[in-house]
Amino acid sequence: MPPGQSESRRLAALHRLQLLDTPPDPAFDRITQLAQTLFDVPIALISLLDEDRQWFKAKCGLHVSGTPREQAFCNYTILHDSVFVVPDARAHADFALNPLVTGEPFIRFYAGAPLIVAPGTRIGSLCLIDRKLRAFNEEDSRLLARLAQVITDEIWLRTLASGQNRVFPHFAQGRPSTETPSLITGLQVRAARAMLGWSIDELSLKTGLSPNTIKRMEADEQSRPSSPSTTVKIKEALEGEGIVFLGHDAADPGVQLVRKISNNKDQ
């Protein structure tokens, strides 16, 4: 593990979130389906890295539920905060003899964005797999990273909705309580803005707020607007574009962000 990522802390966080070996979930399935469609790849996965295995919370184009961890490309993805790309697995010294390259699913191309649930803590990845060579540019990397953020937002929202903030203190500290669903956080604003493809300057123009106000809010994911008027301006601008912020007791929080992307793709 690189500096800043303790494997014991990472595993403890993963296990506290109670995601492993859970039934298929429509919200996470939608995200992998969306990734598969947006990037036109045969396989998209949400992979969680346990001590000796990778387990797929959601999968498109693959029927197995996981693999040994030593075979997992995602084992490399969690080493850094940035998107990890393998343009040609057959030509890569670390992967050329990997059973997943020489046999099913015959991985040739791989791209993975880490699921970062706290600074320095990466529990898995959202990854794309192709059986042929393909281009993958910086904009593709940014989009994949944004989708990975939607997954971690979903995990956080579910933690709040379940009333189990103690599961992961980083999620709980400074977050709005279930009694104040009208409040929104910097993390929600960043995710919604990313889904719309808006820059900070664009959101500034829409809301009349200064770019620095928005930057400060998004820089601290736990922060909330300092005044009700700020909340109203941001919510009105984003909801006017089809983004819906759910109360934390909703049955399927966070799905509206994914629906927004899906609707744009279909238009």
Q: Looking at beta carbons, which pairs linking 39-43 to residues 24 or more positions away fall under 8 Å?
A: 39/128, 39/140, 39/144, 41/109, 41/128, 41/129, 41/130, 41/134, 42/129, 42/130, 42/131, 43/105, 43/128, 43/129, 43/130
Q: Which two tokens stand for residue 222?
A: 């736990």
Q: Which two tokens stand for residue 208?
A: 């009349």
pTM of the model: 0.64
Domains belonging to the chain, first-starting first, are 7-135 (3.30.450.40), 173-266 (1.10.260)
pLDDT tens per residue, range 27-58: 999 999 999 999 999 999 999 999 999 999 99
pLDDT the model gives residue 169:
44
pLDDT tens per residue, range 182-236: 467 777 787 777 767 788 999 999 999 999 988 887 776 455 555 677 878 888 8
Over residues 2-29, the mean pLDDT reads 84
